[in-house]
Amino acid sequence: MITLTSLPLAEADQEFLDKVIAQRGGRPGALLGILGKAQDHQPRKFLPRETLEYIAAKTDTPLARIFSVVTFYALFNLEPQGKNTICICRGTACHTRGSRELLESLMFKLGFHDPDDEMADKISLNTNDGKYTIRTVACFGQCALAPVVEVNHEVYGHMNEQTLQRELEHLGRETAKK
Amino acid sequence: MRPATTNVKTLKIDGRDLSGRQEETILEVARQNGIFIPRLCEMEGLTDVGACRMCLVEIKGQNRLLPACVTAVEEGMEVTTDSERLQNYRRMILELLFTERNHVCSVCVSNGHCEMQMLAQRLGITHVHFPYRYPKEEVDASHDRFVIDHNRCILCTRCVRVCDEIEGAHTWDITGRGIDAQVITDLNEPWGSSETCTGCGKCVHVCPTGALFEKGRSVAEMLKRRQFLPYLTMMREENE
């Protein structure tokens, strides 16, 4: 069951949404763009309940329609995302080169122990401390570099547990600095 | 008033010479002439989505099967609505629907009045060839008068369409994709706390199975009144 996160909408955010809606509103298919902009604007890259309700009211879109759209597309997040996003490829090439083991060890290191999660086709998990988000994708199109891991939108090829561990330590230091 | 230059198409359905207006679908023409084509998602008065694939028909000269509910009639078409091939397809679709959620007729409010059960009986389905999934689906009884049992939902989206197109409330929609898809009210809230729901009950009466029903109904007691929809559409058209 998907639940929405509550986060009151500040006045500045309302103004931002008004502007986006004024730019795009009224055209068919505008909703996707508006939701995308709203999510990018949010520092934690997600769509809180209040934002969805505000967009629904301003664009005269039914609430159910909005919920349908944000749960259909994987690009929309309903939970606050971690500061660092680690995305592991689960495509065929990466799978044969050990991406399952990479994923399992990463999940274990970040404190996820639910075997149901490990078996899921698509993973999107956030650590409680708000530092990390783990995701899986079907393919990055970089199969020659298998197994591929994307860390904060940078693609790393030929990963193994050691290099991933090094990357994780690096991220930990960087995040602590900020 | 329809334009005077209505284009009439003549076609053959199951060997019978019939005619229909060019904007009419095969299913509509068949229905007007008393030819039965099974369907689960289509309903007179709602837009057609062609989702359930029960109304697939054979058209002479075309190798692939076409859904009768969204295929417009064409001049010289020769349509077959019932054949062994079609029966096999329809049986498989129904079997997959039965395995996808928990359809237990013996404890269902719609037992004896269920469209899916009726179609299964017509096709002589006594058992299914696929393993049951037995998902754990929720039952939402938070509404004063109605209940939704997701275990019996086949995702035909009739409730979504009737609520949007006829009632104008758009309380229902579909969340998720594929096997995770589910009908929801508003922002996935309990039906009872929905602010947009008018409590009209149209969704309950268009639901082909026992997924939507009135509170207080026991096994086989939920009779659905579908007549309201063509009547309402007719009255609205007259008033226009």
Structural domain boundaries in chain B? 8-82, 108-239
CATH 3.10.20.740 corresponds to the domain B8-82: yes
Residue B113 in tokens: 């009045």
B136 touches A at CB < 8 Å: no
- One-character DSSP codes across chain B: ---S-PPEEEEEETTEEEEEETT-BHHHHHHHTT-----SS--TTS-----S-TTEEEETT-SS-EETTTPBP-TT-EEE---HHHHHHHHHHHHHHHHHTT--GGG-TTTTT-HHHHHHHHTT--S-SS--------EE--SSSEEEEGGG-----HHHHIIIIII----EEEESSGGG-EEEETTT--GGG-SS-----HHHHH-SSSSEEETT--TT------THHHHHHHHHHHH-
The residue of chain B nearest to residue A68, with distances taken between CA atoms, is B175
Confidence of residue A28 (pLDDT cuts 50, 70, 90): confident
Q: What is the arithmetic mean of pLDDT over A27-47?
A: 92
Q: What is the arithmetic mean of pLDDT over B199-227?
A: 95
pLDDT digits (tens, 9 = 90+) for A95-116: 999 999 999 999 988 888 776 6
What letter does residue A161 receive in the DSSP assignment? H
> Which residues does chain A have within 8 Å of residue B176's beta carbon, measured at their own beta carbons?
2, 71-72
Task: List b or e across A105-130, with b for residues whose CB sees 16 or more CB atoms inside 10 angstroms.
Answer: ebbeebebeeeeeeeeeebbbbeeee
pLDDT at residue number B233 = 87
pTM: 0.88
Class of domain B108-239: alpha beta
CB-nearest partner of A4 from B170, B171, B187? B187
Q: What is the arithmetic mean of pLDDT over B124-129?
A: 94
pLDDT at residue number A70 = 95
Alpha-carbon distance of B140 to B136, in angstroms, equals: 13
Give percent of chain B with pLDDT exceeding 90: 90
* Distance set, CA B114 to CA A45, B11, B40, B103, B220 (Å): 45, 32, 10, 11, 9
- Given a cut of 80, whether residue A118 has pLDDT beyond it is no
Q: What is the arithmetic mean of pLDDT over B183-188?
A: 95
B185 touches A at CB < 8 Å: yes
Q: How far is CA B212 from the centre of its chain?
A: 13
User: What is the ipTM, given to two decimal places?
Assistant: 0.89
B171 touches A at CB < 8 Å: yes
Confidence of residue B5 (pLDDT cuts 50, 70, 90): low
| A63–B186 CB contact, under 8 Å | yes
B164 touches A at CB < 8 Å: yes
Q: What are phi and psi of B107, to 5 degrees?
A: -115, 15
pLDDT digits (tens, 9 = 90+) for B18-45: 999 999 999 999 999 999 999 999 999 9
Candidates B137, B172, B175, B196, partner chain A, best to mutate (most A CBs within 10 A): B175
Same fold, B8-82 and B108-239: no
Alpha-carbon distance of B216 to B152, in angstroms, equals: 17
Q: What is the H or E stretch that residue A92 is in?
A: helix A92-96
Alpha-carbon distance of B75 to B162, in angstroms, equals: 32
Mean pLDDT of chain B: 94
Q: What is the arithmetic mean of pLDDT over B127-147?
A: 96
Q: What is the arithmetic mean of pLDDT over A143-170?
A: 92
